[in-house]
């Protein structure tokens, strides 16, 4: 009798599990950009955690793939990868990608050698400088268009930092939190030789994007937007940031009179 009851309960549990709806898998691509995209983090980084939490409320699950940034853009633009979780907005990108609502932000600052007297004070203060920039990053458009300084393209941010400390360029540029995280992890000896400008070039929002060539782009972005609203309301968003030691973005803080 007990054996029969055991097997009856076993098969009932199995059938219930089999009948449970399975999440729809969304593929995402990006280069390492800790703490937002971090291949060494057990949960993939802050952006992966937030995207997964938001999309889970809508029946989706994210599988993030690490790849060079330029390839991530191209694969997502072509619809072979469903999304990028940590994109900056640019006018050019808006022609190829559907953007979510912003979900994080951060200052993009110039990085200089410690003994440099440079301080950023508008684009005119960059005159004559050589600046390492990462290929296909969505920097401020006016910064990219100006021609009284030289932009030196690198494929990976830490290449620019190596060039900076070796006096091959005058400046590098990156999201401040990402830069500090990556330099401490990959080039710890360089960290004591660099400093950040006090004034940022810009304060950039982070978005989830999906290419217009992907037939599911509207469903993916709408699901993220709805899920983001849900995790802001239930406290999961703030819990994830607190666990990673990050403050609540100003755009989501309660407004005071």
Residue 16: band (very low, low, confident or very high) from pLDDT cuts 50, 70, 90: very low
pLDDT at site 75:
98
What is residue 173's predicted lDDT score, i.e. its pLDDT?
A: 97
pLDDT digits (tens, 9 = 90+) for 88-107: 999 999 999 999 999 999 99
Rounded Cα distance between 166 and 113, Å, is 10
Domains 22-104+204-252 and 107-203 equal at CATH topology level: yes
**Helix, strand or coil for residue 113?**
strand
Locate tokens 């060539």: which residue?
Answer: 213
Q: Give residue limits of the domains in the chain.
A: 22-104+204-252, 107-203
Can you give the pLDDT at residue 7? Answer: 47
Instruction: Check residue 6 and give its pLDDT.
Output: 47
Rounded to the nearest 5 degrees, what angle is found at the Cα of 245, between the Cα atoms of 229 and 99? 35
pLDDT in tens, 49-91: 999 999 999 999 999 999 999 999 999 999 999 999 999 999 9
Asked if residue 231 lies in contact with residue 50, where contact means CB atoms within 8 angstroms, the answer is yes
Does domain 107-203 fall into CATH 3.10.580.10?
Answer: no
Buried b / exposed e across 19-40, counting CB within 10 Å, b at 16+?
eeeeeeebebbbbbbbbbbbee
CB-neighbour burial class of residue 127 (10 A; exposed 0-12, middle 13-18, buried 19+) = exposed
pTM confidence score: 0.85
- Residue found by looking up tokens 């950039």 in the block: 204
CA 233 to chain centre: 22
22-104+204-252 CATH, one of 3.40.190.10, 3.90.800.10, 3.90.400.10, 3.30.559.10 = 3.40.190.10
């Amino acid at each position: 009798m007990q054996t029969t009851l055991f097997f009856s309960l076993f098969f009932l549990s199995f059938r219930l599990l089999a009948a449970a709806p399975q999440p729809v898998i969304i593929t995402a691509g990006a280069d390492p950009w800790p703490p937002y995209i971090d291949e060494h983090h057990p949960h993939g980084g802050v952006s992966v955690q937030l995207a997964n939490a938001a999309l889970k409320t809508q029946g989706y699950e994210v599988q993030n793939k690490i790849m060079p940034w330029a390839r991530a853009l191209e694969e997502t633009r072509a619809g072979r990868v469903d999304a990028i979780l940590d994109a900056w907005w640019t006018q050019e990108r808006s022609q190829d990608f559907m953007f979510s609502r912003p979900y994080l932000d951060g200052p993009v600052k110039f990085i200089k050698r410690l003994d440099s007297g440079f301080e950023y004070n508008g684009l005119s203060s960059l005159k004559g400088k050589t600046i390492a920039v990462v290929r296909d990053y969505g920097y401020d458009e006016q910064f990219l268009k100006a021609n009284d300084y030289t932009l030196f393209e690198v494929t990976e941010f830490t290449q620019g930092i190596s060039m900076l400390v070796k006096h091959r360029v005058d400046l590098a540029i990156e999201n401040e939190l990402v830069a500090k995280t990556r330099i401490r992890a990959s080039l710890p000896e360089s960290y004591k030789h660099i400093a950040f400008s006090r004034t940022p070039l810009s304060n950039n929002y982070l978005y989830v994007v999906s290419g217009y060539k992907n037939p599911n782009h509207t469903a993916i972005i709408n699901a993220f937007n709805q899920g983001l609203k849900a995790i802001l309301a239930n406290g999961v968003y703030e819990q994830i940031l607190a666990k990673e030691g990050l403050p609540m973005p100003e755009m989501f803080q309660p407004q005071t009179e």
